[in-house]
Amino acid sequence: MNAERPNGRGTGDEVADLARRAGQLAGWAARTGFAFTRRLPGVETAERGVRQVERQLLGELRRRLDEVDDPYHAALTAASAMNRPAASGSRPIEATVTLVPARDNHAEPLRAAMAELLNHSIGFGRARAREYFYAIILRQLTPDEARILSALSDGSPFPAIDVAERTSLGGAGRLVLRNASTVGKVAGVSLPDQVPGYVTRLIGLGLVDLDEEVPSLETQYEILMTDETVRDAEKHVKRAKFVKRTIHVSRLGAEFWQACDPSFDPRSLG
């Protein structure tokens, strides 16, 4: 069980405060176009500082979210509490999760975690269930992936390319690179070479959709073809075939971003 802090605020309030601070930082960077002004004197040094603060806030927020909502963490905490003798003169510690019978005097955290999820499903309303679902997604995102989702959040499509080995019939054979895209540079990610993996993960989470080639993006496809990651993949096949696609935010991604958008001000609703 999480104890109240001396100032009277619980862990839930602290999570909300951390989210607000992280949101303010991200919102400031977006409003000032921070990622696009690196050529200005002193901006590179300042950016490193902002990135460090951003990582610290996101890391702490993720840790607090884990403590609040992670059923496995809750199960381990409860099992530890049940197996720990109460201090002399104190009340016994009550478990906050329904544990399955232990075998050989050892709790089974995986089964207990499932019990915790089932317990949640009983008391959750629609709004709380959605919030929990979004929190689970949020915990899985890296800062770079959050930046990519932000760049996609307005619905604009971005080019994506797969690099494959061309077969004797001109088709696509063995894939050597999947989902390379220009969205990483626009988003200002820290690890440009990891963009294909980021995009693949976002597609897997259902936040981004993969679609057919869009002819109007031809210039952007040509730029993407010169990307270092794409050129390096091309070296690993005898004859390369480029499969052009587009990526854009999915319906789930748009709803998720609307719920988590750090630049949104609730006071604007009146």
The percentage of the chain sitting over the pLDDT mark of 70, rounded to a whole number, equals 57
Is 24 a residue whose pLDDT tops 70?
Answer: no
Q: What is the mean pLDDT of residues 134-148?
A: 93
- Give the pLDDT band of residue 161 (cuts 50, 70, 90): very high
- Give the pLDDT band of residue 169 (cuts 50, 70, 90): confident
Q: What is the mean pLDDT of residues 126-153?
A: 92
Report pLDDT digits (tens) over 226-256. 999 999 999 988 888 899 999 999 999 999 9
Task: In whole angstroms, give the CA distance from residue 240 to residue 165.
Answer: 5
Name the token pair of 59.
Answer: 């890391």
Is 41 a residue whose pLDDT tops 70?
Answer: no
Is 91 a residue whose pLDDT tops 50?
Answer: no
Q: What is the mean pLDDT of residues 92-104?
A: 43
- Give the pLDDT band of residue 10 (cuts 50, 70, 90): very low
The residues with which 262 forms a beta bridge, in sequence order, are none
What is the rounded average pLDDT for all residues in the chain?
Answer: 74
Report pLDDT digits (tens) over 171-213. 667 889 999 999 999 999 999 999 999 999 999 999 999 999 9
Question: Measuring CA to CA, how many Å separate 78 from each of 29, 64, 98, 99, 182?
Answer: 41, 17, 9, 8, 46
Report which of 115, 121, 70 is spatially closest to residue 97, judged by C-alpha positions. 115
Name the token pair of 190.
Answer: 């820290």
Task: In whole angstroms, give the CA distance from residue 51 to residue 117.
Answer: 35
Query: Could you tell me which residue, 6 or 125, shows the higher pLDDT?
Result: 125
pLDDT at 199: 98
Separation of first and last alpha carbons in the chain: 36
pLDDT at 51: 62
Contact assessment for residue 96 and residue 75, using Cβ atoms and an 8 Å cutoff = no
- Sheet bearing 172-181, strands edge to edge: 172-181, 158-166, 240-249, 208-212
Q: What per-residue string of b and e applies to 39-53 under the rule 16 or more CB within 10 Å gives b?
A: eeeeeeeebeebeee
What secondary structure does DSSP assign to the chain, as a single string? -PPPPTTS--HHHHHHHHHHHHHHHHHHHHHTTGGG-TTSTTHHHHHHHHHHHHHHHHHHHHHHHHHHH-HHHHHHHHHHHHHSPPPTTSPPPPPSS-PPPPBTTB--HHHHHHHHHHHHHHH--HHHHHHHHHHHHHHH--HHHHHHHHHHTT---EEEEEEEEEPTTS-EEEEEEEEEETHHHHHT-S-GGGHHHHHHHHHHTTSEEEEE--GGGHHHHHHHHT-HHHHHHHTTSSSEEEEEEEEEE-HHHHHHHHHH-TT--GGGG-
Task: In whole angstroms, give the CA distance from residue 134 to residue 205.
Answer: 11
Is 36 a residue whose pLDDT tops 80?
Answer: no
Query: Could you tell me which residue, 206 or 31, shows the higher pLDDT?
Result: 206
Name the token pair of 138.
Answer: 């949020």
pLDDT at 263: 81
- Give the pLDDT band of residue 157 (cuts 50, 70, 90): very high
Report which of 196, 200, 178 is spatially closest to residue 244, judged by C-alpha positions. 178
pLDDT at 257: 95
Sign of CA dihedral 188, 197, 179, 246: negative
- Give the pLDDT band of residue 40 (cuts 50, 70, 90): very low
According to the per-residue pLDDT averaged within each range, which of 2-11, 20-29, 110-119, 208-217 is highest? 208-217
The phi and psi torsions of 263 (rounded to 5 degrees) equal -90, -5
